Amino acid sequence: MSEAPSCVLLDLDNTLYEYDPAHTAGMDAVREYAEQQLRISAADFDDCFHAARAEIKQRLGPTGSSHHRLLYFQRTLEKAGLATQPMNALQMEQVYWSAFLSKATLFDEVLEFLDDLRIAGIPAIIVTDLTAQIQLRKLLYFNLNKYVDWMVTSEESGADKPAIGIFHLALAKIGGVEGKVWMIGDDPGKDIAGARDALGCTTLQKVHKLEKFTPDAAATPDAVFSRFGDLRSTLTDLL
């Protein structure tokens, strides 16, 4: 990379925070709710949930709503023989996301990196799969709204990454840019290949441990990093 970006696109989940521990906490909480409130065993819940999730994703395809936990839990209850159960489905969604967020923590120096962009006058846009409501909630929970002015979800754009529409919509929101656009994300196919194919972005892949990184031959990033502190140094050198 030889020049500073004119705009930075950022994935959210598993890029700005680690997804798996938060998801595990959410599922543990819902599993406990199902056992205590509905007398559904943990094993039966898991079987019904995995079948429900696969069914929803197959039916809806790669769209924002295909990630909707409310749909997963509604269908889980139906598969468990309890019909739609609106109150329990809604409560399970709340239980999941409350436990999820309580375990979710931003990676070190994420906010500082975003503040560096703000000070430099470089727009930052969150480009994320999933539905708008929970992703907006995450922005508020993490205080990202103080540093990021724009977000595009796959619910809004009509299709998950790597579909080109979500990337084009991101730039359209700020009226387009001249110069280099960075895409920062963890997924080789969705974030790296998707942004490169859509916009010719300079791509930076976030990995949790550099020593375990294996490049994807079809989606090799321009740079790889594990710490946002290192990314801050790179940006400073280019400004």
Active-site residue list: 11, 13
Q: What is the 3-state secondary structure (H, E, C) of the chain?
A: CCCCCCEEEECCECCCECHHHHHHHHHHHHHHHHHHHHCCCHHHHHHHHHHHHHHHHHHHCCCHHHHCHHHHHHHHHHHCCCCCCHHHHHHHHHHHHHHHHHHCCECCCHHHHHHHHHHHCCCEEEEECCCHHHHHHHHHHCCHHHCCCEEEEHHHHCCCCCCHHHHHHHHHHCCCCCCCEEEEECCHHHHHHHHHHHHCCEEEEECCCHHHCCCCCCCCCCEEECCHHHHHHHHHHHC
Please state, in angstroms and rounded to a whole number, the distance separating the CA atoms of residues 7 and 228: 17
CB 101 within 8 A of CB 138: yes
φ/ψ of 53, rounded to 5, equals -60, -45
